[in-house]
Structure 1
Amino acid sequence: MRLNRVVLSTTLVVLALVLQVSVLARLHLPGAVPDLLLLVVLGLALVYGHVGGALVGFGAGLLADIAPPADHAVGRYALVLAVIGYFAGLIKPEKGQVRSAAGPLLVVAGAAVGSTVLYAGVGALVSDGAARGVGLGSLILTSTLYDLLLAPFVIPLVMALARRTEREVTAASADTGATNASREAAHRWLAAGTASRGGSALLRGRRGSGMIGRQRSGLLGGRRSVSTVKVGRIKGVKRL
């Protein structure tokens, strides 16, 4: 994951866990505790996709497993949220835009039911009796109800923050690419100008050397003609 995703996901997960433990768990509502952490994972998965959703879900679940007052086996909720984040990311909307509220609400309802059933199933496999004494049907019903009531306030906000961060990174990358392209164009222009100046200077040098050569040959020819005249005159004098 990119650094901006890690920073945003960590901030939202920690904030959700603190609110869930310190506020929602103390309301003593009948049945399950409203799962604010699950809603944050769903909101991020709907923007980041299945891979990002699985990674965020695993990290969030692992943090919930080790944070007090956790009373279950470590890794149990991490597995649940990783699976939920993966499947939620598979139905990521195109370009991160949600056309209606029905889709995310259906995802929340399915995730609430799936996470409760999966959590109970993993607990049965590892012989973790933390949830014994509470009916599974009551947990499913209350968790789905609470999550659906919180979803309209949590998921749109989380998705908006995630999309804004993605757009800022994309814009920064585009600006960097444009700057690099302009630098390359300027470098090519300077190289072409240097080459043309060098070529014209070389051409002028060749022309100058040709003129100098012709001048030298002209001077030598003039000297030879003068010497020839002088020799002729001397010979003529001697013949006279």
Structure 2
Amino acid sequence: MRTSPAGRLTAVVLAVLTALLVQVTVLPHFAWEVGGLGVVPDVVLLVVVATALATDTRYGTLTGFFAGLLLDLAPPADHVAGRWTLALMVVGYVVGRLAHDNTSDVGRLELEGSRRPPLGLVLAAAAGASFVGTSVFALSGLFLGDSGASVGELLQVALVALVLDTVAALLVVPATYWLLRRLGQERPVAARWAQT
């Protein structure tokens, strides 16, 4: 079976919106206090990581832009809009670029099989993306004068976020892959008619 662009887009939008709702409504109740800041796993970032691993650099970057913009605008956003957009665009680009350099399947999600990235790649991508995304967000806050935390506190937050995101990646990345595979398949015409 081939990938369906509309199905893949639907899967990404559904994954990003679900992750956003979980991140802004449920996870703040379980925040880990570090340096006066509450740290939670960044499940939206992990959806961007999974999308960049499953598709290509361009799709990962666009997903990062879309997801970051929603995260910037979702209440209770208390920062200058655009910081998460920049951070998640960088994450989508870097993960997509590093994951797909020197491979022959750039831009293809093999939906027919159960091809998933190796666990080591998922954990490395999640850890690297967490560090890069948190760093870009924190540094943009320092440059814009939008952060009330010191550099030492931000380093502690980045370390805790890295650990939480790496652990959460064990659930979020495979779930996003499953959703992309399930909704991204182009079904034969006979199968579509049978379901209506």
Instruction: Tell whether the structures are fold-level matches, with TM greater than 0.5.
Output: yes
The CA deviation at 1:46 is 0.9
1:81 to 78, 88, 91: 88
Q: Distance in 2 between matches of 1:140 and 1:47?
A: 25
1:10 to 6, 10, 13: 13
Higher relative contact order (CA 8 A, sep 6+): 2
Q: Are 1:49 and 2:67 matched, yes or no? A: no
Q: Distance in 2 between matches of 1:14 and 1:58?
A: 13
Listed one character per residue, the Cα deviations across residues 66-92 of structure 1 (whole Å, up to 9, x for unaligned) are 110000111110011011011111214
Between Structure 1 and Structure 2, the one with more helix by share is: 1
Segments of 5+ residues of structure 2 without an aligned counterpart are 110-114, 191-196
Segments of 5+ residues of structure 1 without an aligned counterpart are 177-240
Q: TM-score, normalised by structure 2?
A: 0.79
Q: Distance in 2 between matches of 1:52 and 1:69?
A: 27
Q: Is the 8 A contact 2:49 2:95 kept in 1?
A: yes
Q: Distance in 2 between matches of 1:102 and 1:35?
A: 19
Q: Rg bigger for which structure?
A: 1
Listed one character per residue, the Cα deviations across residues 102-150 of structure 1 (whole Å, up to 9, x for unaligned) are 0110011101111111111111222212555870221111101111111
Q: Distance in 1 between matches of 2:23 and 2:149?
A: 18
How many residues are paired up? 172
How does 1:1-240 map onto structure 2 within 5 Å? 2-31=5-34, 32-90=39-97, 91-92=99-100, 94=105, 96=109, 97-98=115-116, 100-129=118-147, 131=149, 135-166=153-184, 168-169=185-186, 171-172=187-188
Q: Distance in 1 between matches of 2:88 and 2:95?
A: 10
Q: Distance in 2 between matches of 1:133 and 1:117?
A: 11
SS state at 2:78 partner: coil
Name the aligned partner's letter for residue 125 of structure 1. Answer: F
| Counterparts in 2 of 1:99 and 1:55: CA distance versus 1, 3 Å | closer
Q: Distance in 1 between matches of 2:24 and 2:48?
A: 16
Q: TM-score, normalised by structure 1?
A: 0.65
| Counterparts in 2 of 1:76 and 1:132: CA distance versus 1, 3 Å | same
The CA deviation at 1:99 is 5.1
SS state at 1:80 partner: helix
The CA deviation at 1:163 is 2.6
Q: Distance in 1 between matches of 2:91 and 2:124?
A: 13
Name the aligned partner's letter for residue 71 of structure 2. Answer: A
